[in-house]
């Protein structure tokens, strides 16, 4: 990965957050916070790279139903694995996006289909702010990251872009990183997964020759409008990100202080 001295072929958008400038001009410590997609597609050559990163804890944001149908994470060493499912099987946005990815008939999701997949993705980001499992899972992930025995910490969902992306927003904001740098890290996903995205679209096209690519791409990409939807929901519900951290996630000054103490140089 450019600038960080390592890459995971089977997880092309994996990257660490070290070096970003946080509170008081202190930088995020190198090699301590690592965001990835699910690790089930790591290659044999990736495993020594992961071993050198030496994760003490792996946080998995997927639901059991997602984990069951995916290749098992390939891990190096014996990290503690913590499952914090950020998922609502009853939420129509989740079921709609799943249907798009799986090539299912979307007639049952007519209302969301009229909204469009980009609208559905924005709705998921709003849910990240207010959904119960989202608030519980993201808050616990922050607390785990503030404990030195869990560092280095690897965290992931399925694609490593949406739930992982919003957790990154939370972590970096709590660490005092400015919004422009947070946004730049979030948007890097598309350039890092460009070739992978093309492979996925082609596979879907073979399975579904009349595939509407414009309906699929919003699910496979990150977009500034999704991030904006999350930020807008934070302001609508809580007024500020600090209030969201405190009232929405239940994080205390001690939680944020521990995060900064262990993750800022």
- Active site residues per annotation: 157
Q: What's the distance, CA 110 to chain centroid?
A: 27
CA distance 153 to 155: 6
Q: Render 107-149 in DSSP notation, one character per residue.
A: GGGHHHHHH-HHHHHHHHHHHHHH-HHHHHHHHHHHHHHTSGG
Structure tokens at 102: 């799986």
Helices in 175-193 by DSSP H: which ranges?
Answer: 179-192
> What is residue 15's three-state secondary structure?
strand
Q: Residue holding tokens 């992306």? A: 165
């Amino acid at each position: 990965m450019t600038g960080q001295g390592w890459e995971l072929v089977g997880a092309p958008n994996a990257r660490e957050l070290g070096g970003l400038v946080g509170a008081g001009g202190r930088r995020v410590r190198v090699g301590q916070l690592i965001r990835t997609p699910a690790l089930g597609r790591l290659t044999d050559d990736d495993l020594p790279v992961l071993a050198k990163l030496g994760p003490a804890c792996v946080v998995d944001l997927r639901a059991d139903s997602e984990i069951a149908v995916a290749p098992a994470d390939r891990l190096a060493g014996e990290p503690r694995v913590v499952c914090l499912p950020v998922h609502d099987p009853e939420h129509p946005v989740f079921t709609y996006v799943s249907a798009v990815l799986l090539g299912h008939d979307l007639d049952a999701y007519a209302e969301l289909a009229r909204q469009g997949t980009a609208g559905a993705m924005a709705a998921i980001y709003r849910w990240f702010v207010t959904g119960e499992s989202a608030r519980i899972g993201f808050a616990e992930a922050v607390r785990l990251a503030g404990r030195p025995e869990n560092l280095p910490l690897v965290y992931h969902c399925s694609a490593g872009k949406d739930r992982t992306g919003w957790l990154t927003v939370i972590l970096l904001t709590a660490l005092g990183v400015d919004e422009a740098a947070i946004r730049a890290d979030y948007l890097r996903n598309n350039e890092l997964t460009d070739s992978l995205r093309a492979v996925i679209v082609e596979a879907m096209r073979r399975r579904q020759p009349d595939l509407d690519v414009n309906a699929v791409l919003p699910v496979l990409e990150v977009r500034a409008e999704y991030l904006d939807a999350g930020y807008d929901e934070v302001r609508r519900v809580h007024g500020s990100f600090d209030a969201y951290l405190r009232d929405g996630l239940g994080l205390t000054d001690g939680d944020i202080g521990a995060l900064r103490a262990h993750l800022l140089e």
